[in-house]
Amino acid sequence: MLKTLKEFKVAEKGIVKKITAEGKFKRKLYDMGVTPGADIELIKFAPLGDPLEINIRGYKLTLRKSEAEQIIMEVIK
């Protein structure tokens, strides 16, 4: 099942399938290791819901919901 990283629940895991961002922001995601095929686990949301913290490639990364919305994921069951 495909959904955006923004739609994930805490402790849900998935694989990056596609990045819909363009230009500099897409490059920034790639530089941070958010590339197709990468495994991501949603760790937590901030108290007010934005940003969210993920575990990717052995480190923790914080993304805004607007950024997470541009990452298409396949859920791992």
What are the residue ranges spanned by the domains of the chain? 2-76
CB-count exposure of residue 10 (10 Å: 0-12, 13-18, 19+): exposed
CB 75 within 8 A of CB 40: no
Q: Which amino acid is at 6?
A: K
Beta bridge partners of 45: 52
- Please tell us whether the domain made up of 2-76 is placed in CATH 2.40.10.10: no
Length of the chain: 77
Q: For the chain, which ranges sit under pLDDT 70? A: none
Tokens of 27: 């490059």
Cα–Cα distance measured from residue 25 to residue 8, given in angstroms and rounded to the nearest whole number: 21
- Residue 35: the pLDDT is 95
- Residue 49: the pLDDT is 85
